[in-house]
Each structure stands twice: as C-alpha cells, then as structure tokens.
Amino acid sequence: MLLAAFTGILFAPLGRAAEAPDVPDDAPPNLAKLVALRESETETERNEYTYRQSVTIDELDNRGAARGQYRETRDIIFSPTHERTENLIGKPDNGLKYLTLTEEDFRDIRDIQPLVLTADRLWNYETKFRGEETMDAVDCWVLQARPRQILQGQRFFDGLIWVDKKQYNIVRMEGQAVPQIRTTKTENLFPRFTTIRKPIDGQH
C-alpha cells in the first residue's frame, strides 16, 4: 500500500509583486473561474523556467516503519514554444519491496499531484464552495473539485482546494488521483496526497 507521495516544483521569481487587493467579505460567485484565470497566469510564468523536480516515495509496513523507498530527480525544460521535456538526472533509486510503480503513478506525479487548474482544465471539474478556513497562515476560500466524467485512460483530481482570498492563488490541495483501476486479476490503487504551495515572489 502506498501511503505517501510528494512532488515539489520551484521556479524563479519575476521581480516586484503587484499590490494585493482588499479581501472580499463573501466568496465571489465565480470563484472557480477566478482561480482558473490565476492558475492560467501561473502556468504561463512557470513555462518560462527550467526547474528540478525531486520525487521520493516511501513504502511503509503495517506499523508505519519504512521498508522501502523510490527516489528520482528530473530537470523539467520548456522550449520557446512551451513544449515540455524531462531529463532524468542519474538513475532512479528503486528500493521498493512490494510496491510496483505504474505508468499511471508517474502520470499522477507529473500532472495530478502538482495540478495547475487552468481555465482549459476547469471544464473537466464540478466545483462547490465549502466555506473559508485559515490554512498555512493564509486566509482561504475552500473549494471541492470532482471530475464531471472519467473516460478510459483519463486521470483527474478529486478533493479539496484552499484558495488565497487576496489573489486567488491555490495554497494547498488534498485529495486523490482518480479513478482507482481494478480488474478481475489486478488492482492499481492510488494514495491520498497533500500538495502544498509556497509563495516565490509575493505574486506567484
């Protein structure tokens, strides 16, 4: 059973941040669209940078003790036309005992755990406002996101999203990549995860 996974992404700052607007008293009715617009801006900026992505997957026994680990590091490069290339740094260190990583696991590490919920991805999701909460010392709106429909071969996020009230940046996501894949002979199951984002330049 895979108990934890974490993916980190870092890109360089752009410079002086814009002044933050006042925090509204009530969540705007088009909150999801505002988040998607901000996410589209974030993705545009991210695609201008090269960054290094390190992945560590710990395999735990029934008592919570570590019994195996997988580690890899890749450089993520975007061309001038924003085509993505991944360069593996060295060889993956695979010390897992019972877990087998599948193509879907690596897709989730690349696309779902660090999901950027841009405008062109938002239409795949149903969103519901779930209130407000202070998360990681940031005043946030809370959105639930679930896929509208899942066709064969597709992967989506299903969970909660905490959104900065000031600039509509996503600061945390908790959920799961779906669907779980079960057949009469095999099970390809996927863990719940938490993705935490930190500000880089006061704007992104």
Contact 194, 175 (CB under 8 A): no
Q: 54-61 contacts: CB < 8 A, separation 24 or more?
A: 54/8, 55/5, 55/6, 55/7, 55/109, 56/6, 57/2, 57/4, 57/5, 57/96, 57/99, 57/101, 58/3, 58/4, 59/2, 59/3, 59/96, 59/97, 59/98, 59/99, 60/1, 60/3, 60/4
What confidence category does residue 6 fall into, taking pLDDT thresholds of 50, 70 and 90?
very low
How much is the average pLDDT of 123-148?
Answer: 97
Does the pLDDT at position 193 exceed 90?
yes
pLDDT of residue 199: 82
What confidence category does residue 74 fall into, taking pLDDT thresholds of 50, 70 and 90?
very high
Does the pLDDT at position 103 exceed 50?
yes
Indicate the pTM of the whole model. Answer: 0.82
- pLDDT (tens digit, 9 = 90+) per residue, 15-46? 333 344 455 568 899 999 999 999 999 998 88
Q: Tell me the residue type at 23.
A: V
- pLDDT (tens digit, 9 = 90+) per residue, 144-158? 999 999 999 999 999
- Residue 50 neighbours by CB distance under 10 Å: 12
**Tokens for 77?**
């490069």
Contact 141, 129 (CB under 8 A): yes
* Average pLDDT for the chain: 87
- pLDDT (tens digit, 9 = 90+) per residue, 169-182? 999 999 999 999 99
